Structure 1
């Protein structure tokens, strides 16, 4: 098994396309923070090589805004990797604009639509305690 755990939490009131979009962006944040999450390249029976994907599961949970804010606070307290995604980022068109609207958020009450966490299994379990897996 793995010594670390990856959990992605998305807000339960988002449209399906928004949830998928947020999960995709959060997963890239996890890989950026911990490139060792990536497994080895895949090779098919014809010898064609394919790119690497995460070598460990990324569990996806759903919750309310309050759940995400609590998870954010606990993640910071436990000093695990935290990758937040805020609602204002839906209205931007590029990465620079994303960072600009993110910086305007109240750090104690972000309008989170998603958050990714990675760290020691026990720490992540405590941070996500009470959350349900995404249906």
Structure 2
């Protein structure tokens, strides 16, 4: 099972406050542990929302809103992709994580859809297309 592990933004991360050397060191050790265990597939920190934008869809119309975005608790400061056997294993790994932000912080865990989750609507043709795209990404 794959999970996206989402590090929620804080006022500090949205203000562009960079992590301390101690936190970067602790996170580096944690990431090494994840990789050594075969759990971590990807992971990145994200710039504050002030450097981003949102695209809103309404039928065929598109509108763009530049950051920053007001509701910090809805924003993402970073993420990992974990490959584990269960939600509980993912939780266990996340509980070992150094606190990603000074003070209070929150990490959300969401399971990633796999091809078999889509049922018969995911036709053999669509599966083949998905496999081609993934092969291109891997090369």
TM-score (norm 1): 0.29
- Bigger-Rg structure (1/2): 2
